[in-house]
Amino acid sequence: MKILISCDMEGISGVVAWEQTEPGSGEYERCQALMTGDVNAAIRGAFDGGADEVLVADGHSYGRNLLLEELDPRVCLNVGVDKPLAIVEGIQDEVAAVIFIGYHSRIGTRNGLLCHTWSGATADLQLNEVPVGEIGLSAGVCGHFDAPVIMISADDTACAEARDLLGQLETVAVKRALGRQSAECLPLETARGMIYEAAVRAVIRLKAGNPPAPYRPKTPVRISLRFMRPGKVGLAELIPGTKVRDGRRIEYTARDMLDTFKVFRAYDILANSE
């Protein structure tokens, strides 16, 4: 039984500000260690719950955040910026279930700590009229490969978003959001202990045949995307099949969640060009 641990940085224990998550900034290295600590707790839990194999995908920014030299030596790590499936790279290779560590809520979430959707070019994203962010996008790709998301660690707003969208997965709120860049953080050992315990429970539930269902939006998937800035719809139209709804909103019908993930990322790259 192989478990994929998909990692972001904004929802890591102790992280509350954008600059903490930016390579090159003063506190970034400290946050790399915090991130590695949360992920190690999940790895230990997954193995103690009964996983045979654990693969880790580093998905924040350039995908080079986790400290390999401090990571649990039983796991392989997907590193780097242009992994084909980004934050869920590895899901295509017989993964039984997925654990999200350090995730965050979607753009527009009230009090969502560091909430955003991908690069920040997106003001609103809906799949089949359901608002989603990175939790929904990543979980949908996992669902495309029949893998449920069995656990998340994040701030409380992202945990609530995951429960609403994905059902009864294990959730660990390592911090209570007070605003977009402030939170009440649990003591580190407490947070890591909770991550460990939740990972054990999640994998035991999986082995008992009682995980949450994989997240599978109905296909074809109707994507509705509003850009943060006007003037981007013209670039988005470079992708054939794009329908422009107004000065900032486009729509696209994707065959499945894998294509949804790919085309959304293409729109995001285009929105950041020029």
Catalytic site residues? 116
The alpha carbon of 244 is separated from its chain's Cα centroid by a whole number of angstroms, namely: 28
Rounded-to-integer distance, Cα 213 and Cα 169, Å: 9
Question: How many other C-beta atoms are found inside a 10 Å radius of the C-beta of residue 258?
Answer: 17
Strands (E), the chain: 2-7, 53-58, 76-78, 97-103, 122-127, 130-131, 149-155, 170-179, 182-185, 221-227, 243-244, 249-254
161 near Zn ion, rule: CB under 5 A: no
- The Cα-based distances of 149 to 32, 95, 259, 271 in angstroms read 24, 11, 19, 29
Q: Which residues ranging from 4 to 23 are in contact with Zn ion (CB under 5 A)?
A: 8-9
In the bound complex, what is the minimum distance in angstroms from residue 254's beta carbon to Zn ion?
Answer: 23
In the bound complex, what is the minimum distance in angstroms from residue 207's beta carbon to Zn ion?
Answer: 30
In the bound complex, what is the minimum distance in angstroms from residue 11's beta carbon to Zn ion?
Answer: 8
The contact pattern for Zn ion, residues 22-61, with x = CB under 5 A and - = no contact, is --------------------------------------x-
For 49-72, letters b (16+ CB in 10 Å) and e give bebebbbbbbbbeebebbeeeebb
Select 117 or 224, whichever has its Cβ closest to Zn ion.
117
134 near Zn ion, rule: CB under 5 A: no
Q: How many residues bind Zn ion (CB under 5 A)?
A: 3
180 near Zn ion, rule: CB under 5 A: no
CB-based closest residue to Zn ion: 60
In the bound complex, what is the minimum distance in angstroms from residue 235's beta carbon to Zn ion?
Answer: 23
Please compute Rg for the chain using Cα positions.
18
- Region of 3-11, 92-100, 119-127, 219-227 interacting with Zn ion (CB under 5 A): 3-11
144 near Zn ion, rule: CB under 5 A: no
14, HSE (Cβ side, Cα atoms, 13 Å): 19
248 near Zn ion, rule: CB under 5 A: no
In the bound complex, what is the minimum distance in angstroms from residue 180's beta carbon to Zn ion?
Answer: 14
Binding site for Zn ion (CB under 5 A): 8-9, 60
